[in-house]
Amino acid sequence: MESPAAGHNRRLAERAHAIRRTALRMGQVQGQGYIAQALDIADVLAVAYFHAMNYRADDPDWEERDRFYLSIGHYAIALYAAFIEAGIVPREELESYGGDDSRLPMSGMAHYTPGMEITGGSLGQGLPIAVGACLGLKRKKNPAFVYNLLSDGELGEGSTWEAAMSAAHFRLDNLIALIDVNNQQADGPSSTVLSAEPLHEKFRAFGWHTQRVDGNDIDAVAAAFDAARARCRRAAARHHLRHADGQGRALPRDARQEPLHPRRRRRMGQGCGRARRGLPQRRRPDGSRPMRARIAHKKTFPPRDPAAAKLKTSAMIASIAGADQRTQAAPFGHALAKLAERDSRIVGMTADLAKYTDLHVFAQAHPDRFYQMGMAEQLLMGAAAGMAREGFVPFATTYAVFASRRAYDFICMAIAEESLPVKIVCALPGLTTGYGPSHQATEDLAIFRGLPNMTVIDPCDARDIEQATAAVAAHDGPVYMRLLRGAVPLVLDEYDYTFELGKAKMLREGNDVLFVSSGLMTMRALEAAKALDKDRVSAAVLHVPTIKPLDEATIVAAAGAKPGRLVVVAENHTVVGGLGEATAGALMRAGVHPAFRQIGLPDAFLDAGALPTLHDRYGLSTTKMVERVKFWLG
Ligand SMILES: Cc1ncc(C[n+]2csc(CCOP(=O)(O)OP(=O)(O)O)c2C)c(N)n1
């Protein structure tokens, strides 16, 4: 006879099985997804959503809910499966996973999915956000728990440890961190990328209560959740007792503090949301209004017939190369490996993204000169500065978002301020991934252009990258180079072209339009110019691979050469602060005032989806460029 407890846990195991099946189906629909992680974490999610957490499936924003923070955005497939099993997301939607305009993008985003609390993807942000939420919940006297599911890779991020320290400092008894120690990262086993063991001791030393369980033993996982919550509640009780008032009544800590002035309370937004939406205010018996969570404002999607919620274009389409285009494999990796044969100062460093920045080619050729710094971008930049101080020329690679956003202060103070020869080479610049804003570096040029001493390069194709790599290595100072990786189109070899640092190159002459372009948009400008030929529109293309220092003389001369010629700057970057505005500034300063237009990304966080769809949507595709130029010319 099965005991009630055994029956409960058996049903949890069935839920876990269903989560696995659902995740597998999504992986099948899209043809990819982090399936191994989903299979691995299903038991933990089953226990979280069907045993431990307090939530309402029909009201995912319910104020009293326990919050589940998924900082590892790439595990979203697993959480979506749990949402589907829990009835938070309708089952039919799994068929749209990772497609255009799907509420289930491949990396978890708060604005997209009911039940998704935070936007993950930029790893190492979950625990710091959770600490703030826990402080807020306590302040509101909301007894909800915050669970943060982290990966062992996230332990490489210093921000995780900063949060761990502050959680202990604030004695947070409403925070439960779940760490998936799967010993896997992008470049290999976590133990070789950047070992976090002994993990227990570390977290204990930071003041945490820790348990280690087999994440696929459902009884053990359920017991661990129970123990964690009981432990928190005991800690909370002790905490309340410590602050008991003179008559022995337990008072929550905040009750000892001065009440907020009512005006200040209003300024802090109490009850604002309901008032704005015209709903009656919920008041406490004492007349005060409870603080309500600021829920991620969900993106609106076109009305959807659930039966037709099928994948349209798949997010898997992430190559900028056309199907019949000539490409070259890993031009940066091969060029660097070759250069290093002649220059013993060159070293390669990465933050767990060697394979994804083509640096693995260098690592294979020069294993003793390759440094795996772990998923720790601030460390990567700091250590690269240290290497450069010792006379080396480090090439430090990661994704453009993580260099420009996470490591900016290190790049600024440790590298640029001292003008050290660190070469920051970054994949996924602008809109070259459909993964959403966590991975789309749409503002990187603006950020690095503003940095004194920094040289900024945006090469167009494999040939440009190969030649630029040599020029970057030879340059005595810091460089930020945008990288196209993998199978990179070969475009410029058809022209008599050589990359020269700081020089713009006229690739094609034309009388009606002058495209001033950089990066992959030069490839698009050349294609657009060819297409415009058919409509008897003659277009010139000036390629500007060095964004800083800008070759103002060549740009001004070209813009002023043919009166009446329309100048169109085309860039794979927001229209704010990139090549477009740099060009406009140069022309204004020189007193040259042609008709001027910009093709670039909007000043917005962009959608997730397949690259061809997104390039079309945001006007970077050749077709859209041609359409707009014809419209501008009238
Ligand atoms: C701040 C940051 N740096 C780098 C990446 C790129 N990246 C995505 S997954 C991954 C490794 C993931 O390892 P882990 O976090 O342990 O997850 P798991 O192996 O369990 O999927 C990396 C380096 C990222 N998303 N965020």
Residue 469 shares a structural domain with residue 394: yes
State what percent of residues in the chain have pLDDT above 70: 90
Q: Is residue 323 part of a domain?
A: no
Q: Is residue 317 part of a domain?
A: no
Domain of 38: which CATH number?
3.40.50.970
- Closest C-alpha to 614, from 601, 625, 603, 630: 601
Check whether 592 has a pLDDT greater than 90. yes
- CA–CA dist 172, 129 (Å, integer): 13
What is the pLDDT of the chain when averaged over all its residues? 90
Q: Which of 194, 225, 257 is the last residue of a domain?
A: 257
Is the distance from the beta carbon of residue 455 to the nearest atom of ligand 1 less than 6 Å?
no
What pairs with residue 481 in β-bridges?
425, 457
Is the distance from the beta carbon of residue 160 to the nearest atom of ligand 1 less than 6 Å?
no
Is the distance from the beta carbon of residue 375 to the nearest atom of ligand 1 less than 6 Å?
yes
Higher pLDDT, 494 or 147: 147
Is the distance from the beta carbon of residue 151 to the nearest atom of ligand 1 less than 6 Å?
yes
DSSP state of 259: P
Is the distance from the beta carbon of residue 187 to the nearest atom of ligand 1 less than 6 Å?
no
Residue 369 shares a structural domain with residue 287: no
Residue 214 shares a structural domain with residue 92: yes
- The alpha carbon of 123 and the centre of ligand 1 are apart by a number of angstroms equal to 6
- The alpha carbon of 592 and the centre of ligand 1 are apart by a number of angstroms equal to 47
SS3 300: coil
- pLDDT tens digit string along 328-378? 999 999 999 999 999 999 999 999 999 999 999 999 999 999 999 999 999
Number of compact structural domains in the chain: 4
User: 481 with 518: CB under 8 angstroms?
Assistant: no
- E strand or H helix at 455, and its extent? strand 455-457
- pLDDT tens digit string along 60-96? 999 999 999 999 999 999 999 999 999 999 999 999 9
Is the distance from the beta carbon of residue 152 to the nearest atom of ligand 1 less than 6 Å?
yes
The β-bridge relationship of strands 487-489 and 327-329 is: antiparallel
- E strand or H helix at 378, and its extent? helix 377-389
- Closest C-alpha to 70, from 16, 125, 177, 148: 148
- The alpha carbon of 120 and the centre of ligand 1 are apart by a number of angstroms equal to 11
Measured between alpha carbons, how far is residue 387 from residues 109, 380, 417, 469 in Å? 37, 10, 15, 19
Is the distance from the beta carbon of residue 182 to the nearest atom of ligand 1 less than 6 Å?
yes
Cα 233 to the center of its chain, rounded Å: 35
| Ligand 1 atom 16, closest CA | 153
- E strand or H helix at 574, and its extent? strand 566-574
Residue 494, judged by CB atoms within 10 A of its CB (0-12, 13-18, 19+), counts as exposed
**Token pair recorded at residue 500:** 């020269």
Is the distance from the beta carbon of residue 583 to the nearest atom of ligand 1 less than 6 Å?
no
Q: Is residue 29 part of a domain?
A: yes
Residue 267 shares a structural domain with residue 370: no
Residue 351 shares a structural domain with residue 277: no
Is the distance from the beta carbon of residue 360 to the nearest atom of ligand 1 less than 6 Å?
no
Is the distance from the beta carbon of residue 123 to the nearest atom of ligand 1 less than 6 Å?
yes
- pLDDT tens digit string along 25-61? 999 998 888 999 999 999 999 999 999 999 999 999 9
- pLDDT tens digit string along 283-307? 556 666 667 777 778 888 877 676 6
- CA–CA dist 316, 31 (Å, integer): 8
SS3 286: coil
CB atoms within 10 A of CB 67: 22
For the stretch 400-403, contacts whose Cβ atoms lie closer than 8 Å and that sit 24 or more positions apart, written own/partner, are 400/426, 400/427, 400/428, 400/429, 400/430, 400/441, 400/444, 400/482, 400/483, 401/122, 401/428, 401/438, 401/439, 401/440, 401/441, 401/444, 402/122, 402/351, 402/377, 402/426, 403/377, 403/444, 403/480
Residue 114 shares a structural domain with residue 22: yes
| Ligand 1 atom 6, closest CA | 353
- The alpha carbon of 375 and the centre of ligand 1 are apart by a number of angstroms equal to 7
User: What's the chain's length in residues?
Assistant: 634
Residue range 210-236: average pLDDT?
A: 94
Is the distance from the beta carbon of residue 45 to the nearest atom of ligand 1 less than 6 Å?
no
Residue 274 shares a structural domain with residue 163: no
H helices present in 148-217, as ranges: 158-169, 190-194, 199-205
Residue 82 shares a structural domain with residue 141: yes
Q: Is residue 383 part of a domain?
A: yes
Domain of 603: which CATH number?
3.40.50.920
The preferred substitution site among 34, 40, 123 for testing ligand 1, maximizing ligand atoms within 8 Å of CB, is 123
The preferred substitution site among 194, 352, 397, 433 for testing ligand 1, maximizing ligand atoms within 8 Å of CB, is 352
For the stretch 164-167, contacts whose Cβ atoms lie closer than 8 Å and that sit 24 or more positions apart, written own/partner, are 164/127, 164/203, 164/206, 164/208, 165/206, 165/207, 166/131, 167/127, 167/130, 167/131, 167/134, 167/207, 167/208
Is the distance from the beta carbon of residue 185 to the nearest atom of ligand 1 less than 6 Å?
yes
The preferred substitution site among 185, 399, 438 for testing ligand 1, maximizing ligand atoms within 8 Å of CB, is 185
Residue range 557-569: average pLDDT?
A: 97
Residue 574 shares a structural domain with residue 526: yes
User: 68 with 147: CB under 8 angstroms?
Assistant: yes
- The alpha carbon of 125 and the centre of ligand 1 are apart by a number of angstroms equal to 12
Q: Is residue 304 part of a domain?
A: no
pLDDT band at 248 (very low <50, low <70, confident <90, very high): very low
- The alpha carbon of 321 and the centre of ligand 1 are apart by a number of angstroms equal to 25
**DSSP conformation letters of 235-249:** HHHHHHHHT--TTS-
- The alpha carbon of 163 and the centre of ligand 1 are apart by a number of angstroms equal to 18
- Closest C-alpha to 333, from 355, 316, 310: 355
What pairs with residue 574 in β-bridges?
601
Is the distance from the beta carbon of residue 190 to the nearest atom of ligand 1 less than 6 Å?
yes
Residue 11 shares a structural domain with residue 69: yes
- CA–CA dist 420, 383 (Å, integer): 12
- CA–CA dist 190, 196 (Å, integer): 8
Residue 239 shares a structural domain with residue 118: yes
- CA–CA dist 481, 430 (Å, integer): 12
CB atoms within 10 A of CB 368: 7
Q: Is residue 319 part of a domain?
A: no
Tell me which residue range forms the domain holding 516.
Answer: 505-633
Check whether 541 has a pLDDT greater than 50. yes
What pairs with residue 372 in β-bridges?
350
Sign, Cα dihedral of 554, 603, 459, 343: positive
| Ligand 1 atom 9, closest CA | 186
- pLDDT tens digit string along 91-148? 999 999 999 889 999 999 999 999 999 999 999 999 999 999 999 899 989 999 999 9
| Ligand 1 atom 8, closest CA | 186
User: 101 with 302: CB under 8 angstroms?
Assistant: yes
The preferred substitution site among 150, 184, 375 for testing ligand 1, maximizing ligand atoms within 8 Å of CB, is 375
Q: Is residue 496 part of a domain?
A: no
Q: Which of 200, 226, 257 is the last residue of a domain?
A: 257
**Token pair recorded at residue 411:** 């790049």
Q: For position 285, what pLDDT does the model report?
A: 61
Q: For position 241, what pLDDT does the model report?
A: 52
Q: Is 299 left (phi over 0), alpha (psi -120 to 50) or beta?
A: beta
Residue 189 shares a structural domain with residue 266: no
- The alpha carbon of 632 and the centre of ligand 1 are apart by a number of angstroms equal to 43
- pLDDT tens digit string along 381-440? 999 999 999 999 999 999 999 999 999 999 999 999 999 999 999 999 999 999 999 999
SS3 481: strand
Residue 403, judged by CB atoms within 10 A of its CB (0-12, 13-18, 19+), counts as buried
Q: Is residue 518 part of a domain?
A: yes
Q: Which of 489, 517, 547 is the last residue of a domain?
A: 489
Q: Give the 3-state DSSP-derived string for 383-450, with helices as H, strands as E and coil as C.
A: HHHHHHHCCCEEEEEEEHHHHHHHCHHHHHHHHHCCCCCCEEEEECECCCCCCCCCCCECCHHHHHHC
| Ligand 1 atom 22, closest CA | 186
- The alpha carbon of 126 and the centre of ligand 1 are apart by a number of angstroms equal to 13
Q: For position 496, what pLDDT does the model report?
A: 86
- The alpha carbon of 376 and the centre of ligand 1 are apart by a number of angstroms equal to 10
- The alpha carbon of 359 and the centre of ligand 1 are apart by a number of angstroms equal to 17
Taking the CA of residue 34 as reference, the ligand 1 atom at the shortest distance is 21
**Token pair recorded at residue 446:** 């603006």
User: 76 with 120: CB under 8 angstroms?
Assistant: yes
| Ligand 1 atom 4, closest CA | 375
Residue 154, judged by CB atoms within 10 A of its CB (0-12, 13-18, 19+), counts as buried
Taking the CA of residue 402 as reference, the ligand 1 atom at the shortest distance is 1
State what percent of residues in the chain have pLDDT above 90: 82
- The alpha carbon of 224 and the centre of ligand 1 are apart by a number of angstroms equal to 26
